[in-house]
Amino acid sequence: MSLEDAKKHVDLAITRDGYKGYSFENTFAGAPSFLRRTWTKDLTGVDLAVTGIPFDQAVTNRPGTRLGPRAIREASALLAVDAPYGWGFEPLLDFAIADYGDMAFDYARVADVPAVIEAHVAGILKAGAGAILLGGDHSISLPSLRAHHARHGPVALLQFDAHTDTWADKDGSRIDHGTLFYKAVQEGLIDADRSVQVGIRTDNPDTLGLTILDAAEVHEVGAAATAARIREVVGDAKVYLSFDIDGLDPAYAPGTGTPVWGGLTSAQAARILRDIAGIDLVGGDVVEVSPPFDHAGITALAGAHVAMALVCLWCWTRRGG
Ligand code: MN
Ligand code: MN
């Protein structure tokens, strides 16, 4: 594509014919849809929809993740120009992946937001597409799990996080980024026996039956053995992967609300995510990226790489040949 052609076709997020192909725009310019995918609300023919959930009113400490989707999209421009390294296939050429935009909601009706998220995700799944969410704080994963459960039944949860997020909420009415997986277990959304929490480094004696591979263990056994253990636990179950960016060490993800030292390196996360290719991923999210606390865009870049890995994992089991 020549510069003269480009003048007629930029921005691909708006003008691309169809959904497939790499980006030829300058990485530092143009409309920043996720991975330069077509921005659309029409999911006809779309395989996988990526959508932003800019909600951050359920946090225990620092806010700011409402700005996460925008920052992750911008960082993702660097990943839109060629094949993902080390995967050996080309999801952006072979699959119709769209940016479904950000979810619309009334920021002043907080209690209504979980139902709005559930309906938003259910709409994507009903259209026959897979859904990957860009958060937002971690509370957004509960309504997403409800929507995925309605379509797929109980799923295996694969969670990367410094925190288990399984603290009790007895009457279930709180909207809280620290209780969502307690509720997911209580509601039967996830199969605890097939679920794994990776990178944990906060104390919570009640595991609810989930397998915990804490950060110390990952550092001890290494990424490859961690991935093997994950595959062993989830087996052939349908998997929902929820990646709280604070699963990474604050050195790799400072821009987040509740950072804890001793976490995964970005290299460990990249290796684990690549090595679990073949799991039956049905959906997932990247949450807790908070740009106001970020430095040099480190955390948004990590979020973009994780989201790309989710795209790769989703496409991997559905690829031909
Ligand atoms: Mn966390
Ligand atoms: Mn979390």
Tens digit of pLDDT for each residue in 173-212?
A: 899 999 999 999 999 999 999 999 999 999 999 999 999 9
Question: 244: CA distance to ligand 1 center in Å?
Answer: 6
Give the Cα separation of 159 and 150 in Å (integer): 20
pLDDT at res. 229: 98
Catalogue all structural domains in the chain, each as residue range(s) with its CATH number. 3-316 (3.40.800.10)
Taking all residues of the chain, what is their mean pLDDT, rounded to a whole number? Answer: 96
Question: 159: CA distance to ligand 1 center in Å?
Answer: 10
Residue 248, beta-bridge partner list: 264
Question: How distant, in Å, are the alpha carbons of 42, 82, 92, 204, 255 from that of 20?
Answer: 15, 12, 6, 44, 32
Residue 218 one-letter amino acid? V
Q: Which ligand is nearest to the CA of 140?
A: 2
Give the Cα separation of 138 and 78 in Å (integer): 25
Paired sense of beta strands 211-213 and 130-135, if any = unpaired
Question: 302: CA distance to ligand 1 center in Å?
Answer: 15
Residue pLDDT, tens place only, 291-301 = 999 999 999 99
Average pLDDT over residues 249-270: 98
Q: Which ligand is nearest to the CA of 135?
A: 2
Question: 288: CA distance to ligand 1 center in Å?
Answer: 7
Q: 66: pLDDT confidence band, cut at 50, 70 and 90?
A: very high
Give the Cα separation of 206 and 178 in Å (integer): 14
Question: 39: CA distance to ligand 1 center in Å?
Answer: 30
118: left (phi over 0), alpha (psi -120 to 50) or beta: alpha
The encoded tokens of residue 195 equal 């679920």
235: left (phi over 0), alpha (psi -120 to 50) or beta: left
Q: Which ligand is nearest to the CA of 242?
A: 2
Residues 6+ apart with CB under 8 A from 222: 268
Residue pLDDT, tens place only, 71-126 = 999 999 999 999 999 999 999 999 999 999 999 999 999 999 999 999 999 999 99
Question: 186: CA distance to ligand 1 center in Å?
Answer: 20
Question: 320: CA distance to ligand 1 center in Å?
Answer: 36
Average pLDDT over residues 253-259: 98
Contact in structure between 49 and 126 (CB atoms under 8 Å): no
The encoded tokens of residue 173 equal 């009415």
- pLDDT > 70: percent of the chain: 100
Q: Which ligand is nearest to the CA of 264?
A: 1
